[in-house]
Amino acid sequence: MSSKPYIYITRKLPEEIINNLCTFADVGMWEKEEEPVPREILLQETKKADALLTMLSDRIDEEIFQAGEKLKVIANLAVGYDNIDIELATKYGIAVCHTPDVLTDTTADLAFSLLLMVGRRLAESVELVKSGEWKSWSPLFMAGTDIHHKTIGIVGMGKIGEALAKRALGFDMNVLYHNRHRKMDVEKALGVHYRSFPDLVTESDYVVCLTPLTEETRGMFTKDVFRKMKKTAFFINVARGAVVIEEDLLLALREGEIAGAGLDVFEKEPIDPQHPFLKMKNVVALPHIGSASIETRTAMMKLCCRNIELILKNEKPISIVNEAMFLAK
């Protein structure tokens, strides 16, 4: 039996990314790019693993922690870690790492792109040209809503929220934000304005959610929230699907309570191709691609590998979620 640690990676990663891990560990990997690892294989592999490199679609719960008798670290290829039971991981003495910072600008770019897409009806316009339905130029043909000088309301003014605010200011938008804690330094540096959650949704032309998914944020966008929004306003979600009651959003869109939605994330991913959201002209749906640039995904994969290496070598990782547990060791 090998004396090297064993690392299991739950999705195919490029060889050059994992080369360094192979110099000090045995590395196993689910070889399919498009399909998640089946649960029974993940459990089997976890039994021998010192480290797991996981995707945000892998549910990491007590069954995994119990199987992972040697497990020391889980490195999640995402900044969000709502797929992992952190409290239990800590109880089991397992470090959980994630990928903050490296994806901030890329995700903010995508959030702002979604805002442009819904406001200016870009996806609809592309479809229309491709399907040969473009008949003539006329005064209100495909007229959307302006972006400049409108009000954006950012819910969750963290790293990505701040990066989004900078993009919005570049478009001469008025920037409101709501956050768990008011950020006076950011207000001063950027010239953005704090609002309570109800005031933010009432005043904004574009409401963008960028909170983590937690027990507090789960289902925070309800029919009452959509009812408070302007009928001309758009809702954009780049956080997690479950921050929204999707039925309520659907109703708000159907009943014209809001003008449209831009969604990168859904409660169930991939979304069912028959889902009513996908039949609505005023909904732009993306396949959870917030951080999906080659540069950023490469940086995220490298960060996961580096965190694993540092923990397996008993050194301080770069980005750990349950830091208290690691420091206590």
Ligand X SMILES: NC(=O)C1=CN([C@@H]2O[C@H](COP(=O)(O)OP(=O)(O)OC[C@H]3O[C@@H](n4cnc5c(N)ncnc54)[C@H](O)[C@@H]3O)[C@@H](O)[C@H]2O)C=CC1
The residues of the shown chain that bind ligand LL5AMS7Z, judged by CB under 6 A, are: 56, 78-80, 103, 290-291
Q: Which is nearer to ligand LL5AMS7Z, 200 or 300 (CB)?
A: 300
Helices of type H across 255-293: none
Asked if residue 216 binds ligand X (CB under 6 A), the reply is: yes
Q: Say how many CA atoms lie within 13 Å of 31 toward its Cβ.
A: 0
Instruction: Give yes or no for residue 288 binding ligand X (CB under 6 A).
Output: yes
**Nearer CB in complex with ligand X: 93/158:** 158
Contacts of range 278-283, beta carbons closer than 8 Å, 24 or more positions apart: 280/253, 281/124, 282/118, 282/124, 282/253, 283/253
* Residue 172 identity: D
From the list ligand X, ligand LL5AMS7Z, none, partner contacted by residue 56 (C-beta under 5 to 8 A by kind):
ligand LL5AMS7Z
175, 152 in Cβ contact below 8 A? yes
Q: Which stretch binds ligand X (CB under 6 A): 13-21, 41-49, 137-145, 175-183?
A: 175-183
Count residues contacting ligand X (CB under 6 A)?
32
Write down the least CB distance from residue 104 to ligand X, Å: 6
Using the contact rule CB under 6 A, the part of the chain among 68-76, 140-148, 212-220, 301-309 near ligand X is 212-220
Distance separating alpha carbons of residues 48 and 62, to the nearest angstrom: 16
Place of tokens 């570049």: 170
> Which residue, 54 or 204, has its beta carbon nearer to ligand LL5AMS7Z?
54
**Residues 70-74: contacts with CB under 8 Å, at least 24 apart:** 70/6, 71/46, 72/311, 72/312, 73/97, 73/307, 73/308, 73/311, 73/312, 73/317
156 binds ligand X (CB under 6 A): yes
Asked whether position 178 contacts ligand X by CB under 6 A, the answer is yes
| H or E element in which residue 206 lies | strand 206-209
- Does 179 participate in binding ligand X (rule CB under 6 A)? yes
Could you say which of 7, 58, 97, 100 contacts ligand X (CB under 6 A)?
Answer: 100
Query: Is 291 among the residues that bind ligand X (CB under 6 A)?
Result: yes
When binding is defined by CB under 6 A, the residue of 53, 84, 210, 308 that contacts ligand X is 210
Choose the contact partner of 211 out of ligand LL5AMS7Z, ligand X, none; CB within 5 to 8 A by kind. Answer: ligand X
* Burial group, residue 77, by CB count within 10 angstroms (0-12, 13-18, 19+): buried
Q: Is 264 in the site for ligand X (CB under 6 A)?
A: yes
Please list the residues that pair with 207 across neighbouring strands: 153, 235
What is d(CA 266, CA 270) in angstroms, rounded to the nearest whole number? 8
**How many Å apart are CA 53 and CA 63, to the nearest integer?**
17
Which residues are annotated as catalytic? 240, 269, 288
Under 8 Å CB-to-CB from 315, ≥6 apart: which residues?
A: none
Q: How far is the CB of 242 from ligand X (least distance, A)?
A: 10
Nearer to ligand LL5AMS7Z, 217 or 291 (CB): 291
Question: DSSP letter string over 123-145?
Answer: HHHHHHHHTT------TTTT---
Which of ligand X, ligand LL5AMS7Z, none lies near 157, with the C-beta cut-off 5 to 8 A by kind? ligand X
Give the residue carrying structure tokens 């309301």: 153
Is residue 240 involved in binding ligand X (CB under 6 A)? yes
Instruction: Report the amino acid identity of residue 70.
Output: K
Q: Which of residues 125-154 bind ligand X (CB under 6 A)?
A: none
* Tokens representing residue 224 in the block: 């009452």
**Shortest Cβ 24–ligand X spacing (Å):** 30
Kindly identify the residues of this chain, within the stretch 103-122, that bind ligand X according to CB under 6 A: 103-104, 107
Q: Which residues bind ligand X (CB under 6 A)?
A: 79-80, 100, 103-104, 107, 155-161, 178-181, 210-214, 216-217, 238-240, 264-265, 288, 290-291
